[in-house]
Amino acid sequence: MREYLLTLCITAAVTYLLTGPVRKFAIVAGAMPEIRARDVHREPTPRLGGIAMFFGLCAGLLVADHLTNLHQVFDRSNEPRALLSGAALIWLIGVLDDKFEIDALIKLGGQMIAAGVMVMQGLTILWLPVPGVGTVALTQWQGTLLTVALVVITINAVNFVDGLDGLAAGMVCIASAAFFMYAYRIWYSYGIEAAAPATLFAAILMGMCLGFLPHNMHPARIFMGDSGSMLIGLVLAAGAISVTGQVDPDVMNLFSGSERNTVHQTVPVYIPLLLPLTIIAIPAADLILAIVRRTWRGQSPFAADRGHLHHRLLEIGHSHSRSVLIMYFWSALIAFGALAYSVNSASMWIVLSVVVLSAIGLVLLLLPRFTPRAPVWAERFVPPRYRRRRVVVASGQPAVAEPAPAEQEARTPVAAGVSGVNGATAVGPRSRLSR
C-alpha cells in the first residue's frame, strides 16, 4: 500500500507543479479560444491541461518501475507499456484538437487506433465472467472488438461530462478511488497477481486528477481539454479491461467455493462491460442520452448542445458549485455502492443505505424548487437566500416584489444587463449556455 500511495503522491505532485507552466504555455500557443455560444465560462480560458496530466502519468509509471514490489508489475506484464503507448497516442490527438479543433470523426478514428495499439501489446479482454454461465473464453477478434468498443465508449463518456469546472476530474477521481479499492482487494486478499496492473493504473489516475483539480475548480484557471479528458478516460478503461479480461475467475474458486459464487463476487467487474461502466455510470448515461437526443433531432451524435445532465442542473436553479457537488454525490453513490455490494452482496444494510442516500440525492436535485423561507422575525438570523421577497412601493407605481439581496447577486453576473439612468441595470433572464 505504501508504494501505491507514493506513486499516487508523485503523480499528483508532478501534475500539480506542471499545470501552472502549462497554462502559460497554452496562452502563448494560442490554445485559448474565444467564448462560444455554448460555453458556460465568461472569460477565455486556456486549454491543454492534459499536457501536465500526461507527464504526471509518465512520472507515476517511472517511479513505480523503480519500486521494489511494483517493479514486478513491469517484469511480469506488458500492460503498463501498452497503456503508455495508447495514452501517448490519444494525448497527441487531444493536444492537436485543443489547438486546431480537428474533426470529430478523426478523433474517433484516433481513439480506435489507440485502443488497437493497446490490444496489440496484450492489454485486451480474454474472457468474461457471465452470471449463471461461468467463464466464457473469447476469440481474438471478439476480444479485440470488445476492448476497442469499451475504450471508445469510456473516452467519450468522460469527454461528454467535461462541461463544468472540476466536474470530469472529480468524477473520474471518485470512480478510480472505488476501482482502486476493489482491484487492491483482489490483488492482496485473493493473491491474484493479474490484478496488480489495474491497481497501479487506478492509483496513477487518482494522482493525475488530484493534481489537476486545484487548478480546475470553479472558477477554473485552465481546462484539461480533450488532451486531458480523453487521456483519463483511456486510463480508466485500461484498468477496467485489465481486471476484467486478465483476472481468471476460476482462480478465485479456491476462495469462494464455486464458480457461481465467484461470478457473483465479480459483479462490479463484469457490470462495467455491460453498462459499460458502473464506476462512471453518470457519464455513460449522459453519453447515451446525448446520442439519443441528437439523433432524434436529426443531428450528428458529436454535435454540441445544451442538454447534458450538468446543464440541466443549472437550468433548474442550482449554482455552478452545487451542480458539480451533486454530480460528485451520485458518482460516489454508484461507485462505492457497487464496491460495497462486491464485498458483501447478501447484506440488506447496503441496499437500504443506497436507497436512503438515493432519496437524499433526489431532495438535493429538487432543492431549488422547494427553497424554504424563514418567517419575518427570523430573517436576520438566516442567510439572505432564505429571506422573503420585500415589496417596494414607489409613488404612483404599483407594488413590485423585489428579490432578496442574494437572489439579485446570483442573477446579476450571468444576466444580460442594459445600462439605464444613474448607472442602473435592467437584469434580463439568466443565460443557460453550455460549454
Domain boundaries, the chain: 2-285
pLDDT for 47 equals: 86
Q: Which three cell numbers stand for residue 379?
A: 430573517
What is the pairing mode between strands 390-392 and 134-137?
A: unpaired
159 is annotated as contributing to ligand binding? yes
Nearest to 228 by CA among 15, 51, 34, 9: 51
8 A C-beta contact, residue 242 and residue 150 = no
Nearest to 152 by CA among 215, 236, 227, 214: 236
Q: Which residue blocks in 131-266 are alpha helix, DSSP H?
A: 140-161, 167-189, 196-216, 225-245, 253-256, 259-265
pLDDT for 95 equals: 94
Taking the C-alpha atoms of residue 355 and residue 400, their distance in angstroms, rounded to an integer, is 44
pLDDT for 173 equals: 92
Q: Which three cell numbers stand for residue 104?
A: 470529430
Q: Is the peptide bond before 276 cis (omega within 30 degrees of 0)?
A: yes
The H or E element containing residue 33 is: none
Q: Which three cell numbers stand for residue 430?
A: 439568466
Instruction: List the pLDDT tens digit at each of the 435 positions of the chain.
Output: 889 999 999 999 999 999 999 999 999 988 876 665 555 556 778 889 999 999 999 999 999 999 988 888 898 889 999 999 999 999 999 999 988 888 888 999 999 999 999 999 989 888 776 666 667 788 889 889 989 998 998 898 888 777 778 888 998 998 889 888 888 887 777 777 878 898 999 999 999 999 999 998 878 889 998 999 999 999 999 988 888 766 666 665 544 555 555 555 555 445 444 444 566 666 667 677 777 776 777 766 666 655 566 566 666 666 767 778 888 888 888 888 877 776 766 567 777 888 888 888 777 776 665 555 666 766 676 666 556 655 444 555 554 444 444 444 444 343 333 333 333 333 333 333 344
Taking the C-alpha atoms of residue 333 and residue 326, their distance in angstroms, rounded to an integer, is 11
Taking the C-alpha atoms of residue 212 and residue 20, their distance in angstroms, rounded to an integer, is 10
How many Cβ atoms sit within 10 Å of the Cβ of residue 397? 8
Sole residue written with cell 444613474: 422
137 DSSP β-pair partners: 127
pLDDT for 110 equals: 94
pLDDT for 275 equals: 40
pLDDT for 373 equals: 61
Q: Which three cell numbers stand for residue 111?
A: 481513439
